[in-house]
Chain A
Amino acid sequence: EDQVTQSPEALRLQEGESSSLNCSYTVSGLRGLFWYRQDPGKGPEFLFTLYSAGEEKEKERLKATLTKKESFLHITAPKPEDSATYLCAVQWEWGGSEKLVFGKGTKLTVNP
């Protein structure tokens, strides 16, 4: 069983069509949940960190929220330049050491 699951795998939107990406996790003792954006041929670029349930962060058209077992990345009125793969990563403590696992990502395409 994957510890971090992102859905959907791929999402196509029309410009201006709002939607949400999901990141669910099964680990206990969450220390942090991270969202990254990755453009083709590039390394992931940091977007947000969420540390506790109920926390929200916003940046331009993006808003990240966190519950006890999942996080959502809401995209409001997206533009073609928002097209990218969005990755989430979950950090937790296990056996006295820190663990960090990435999800497989959601590939977002925004058509003009």
Chain B
Amino acid sequence: NAGVTQTPKFQVLKTGQSMTLQCAQDMNHEYMSWYRQDPGMGLRLIHYSVGAGITDQGEVPNGYNVSRSTTEDFPLRLLSAAPSQTSVYFCASSPRDLNQPQHFGDGTRLSIL
């Protein structure tokens, strides 16, 4: 059972570089989301999607883009990396909406120098 798979697990970037964090789920879930987790703070929602072709902003969307071309995949793009984006990023999915438990991946640990 793969569940939610995130790649890469670790990444170091230089300020100004761009990159894409990958997220794939094999549970046919409609709802997918991206969070960042920083020390001393709760998980904060970056972007979410309620189905293929539909995305919306969460609490902290600035500096990030998303798209959802398939049910399975929900990549997160950093357009021009900044040190403030150093964090652990988690992707999650649930069958339909926020009212159902979310399944999380194991995260991508991103450092921006």
Residues on A facing B (Cβ under 8 Å): 4, 31-32, 34, 36, 41-46, 49, 87, 89, 91, 98-105
Interface size class on chain B is: 20 to 34
- Give the most central of A45, A99, A102: most B CB within 10 Å: A102
State whether the Cβ of B73 lies closer than 8 Å to any Cβ in chain A: no
A44 to B102 alpha-carbon distance, docked (Å): 9
Q: Chain B 67-102 against A: per-residue CB contact (8 Å), 1 yes, 0 no?
A: 000000000000000000000001010000111111
Interface pair A98/B42, CB less than 8 Å apart: no
A99 to B33 alpha-carbon distance, docked (Å): 13
Given A43-B4, A46-B103, A105 contacting B42 (CB threshold 8 A): yes
Q: CB < 8 Å: which of A32, A36, A45 contacts B99? A: A32
A7 to B101 alpha-carbon distance, docked (Å): 22
A85 to B104 alpha-carbon distance, docked (Å): 15
Question: In the complex, which residues of chain B have a beta carbon less than 8 angstroms from the beta carbon of A43?
Answer: 4, 90, 92, 104-107
